[in-house]
Amino acid sequence: MSFICPVISLTCQVVDAVPVSSGLSVERLKQLLPCSSCHGGESKALALSGLRLGSHERRILLAAAEVDHNHRVVPPHASGRSAAEAHRRAQRKLGGAGLLSLKQVITGNGSLRRRTGVRLTPLGQAVVERVGEELAEGTPIRWHQHQPALASDVRQPFEELVASFEEAVGDYRRTMMF
């Protein structure tokens, strides 16, 4: 099956290298592919210029679950409707920048509630590792100084991308058997 990378508009070599990916829909492929560790992550890293992170975004980035953990609910900094909306806006901004993965999770120990859980993407993890001190201190981040390193931090070797995709496809196929 031929799948065109939405970033570079060429055939995705990861899909071509994994024969068991045939038969999957394009939407399922998009969900399973490790794009955030390939061209997609690189392009997001290079697009960070001009991104301004306010106190809400910084707090969420520092409190989010790491890339290899389950999504974690990070509560708003204060109670009230305006604080909750500022929190949701910050989460969407970070998700759009490619720094966070957002997912609805069920929480509660009695009454169940759906809340938004957050987890760092590979780019988000690299940002926290590289500029975590600036995030915590609230100082301006000079993205142009960090972009080349962030782009190389995010990009995984081809063999790791293929292994990650094979694992994701295998997990998906196993869950579909039940």
* CATH code (residue 94): 1.10.10
- Please report whether residue 47 resides in a domain: no
pLDDT score at 41: 87
Do 65 and 128 belong together in one domain?
yes
Residues of the chain with pLDDT under 70: 1, 20-22, 110, 177-178
| Residue reference for tokens 């100082």 | 139
- Please report whether residue 58 resides in a domain: yes
Report the domain count for the chain: 2
User: What CA–CA distance (Å, rounded) separates 135 from 118?
Assistant: 17
Do 17 and 89 belong together in one domain?
no
* pLDDT tens sequence across 33-43: 888 888 888 88
pLDDT score at 37: 84
- Domain, as residue range, for 97: 52-140
Report yes or no on whether pTM surpasses 0.85. Answer: no
pLDDT score at 1: 57
- Please report whether residue 71 resides in a domain: yes
Which positions ≥6 away from 125 have C-beta within 8 Å?
66, 67
pLDDT score at 21: 65
Residue 130 near residue 63, CB atoms below 8 Å? no
Do 86 and 20 belong together in one domain?
no
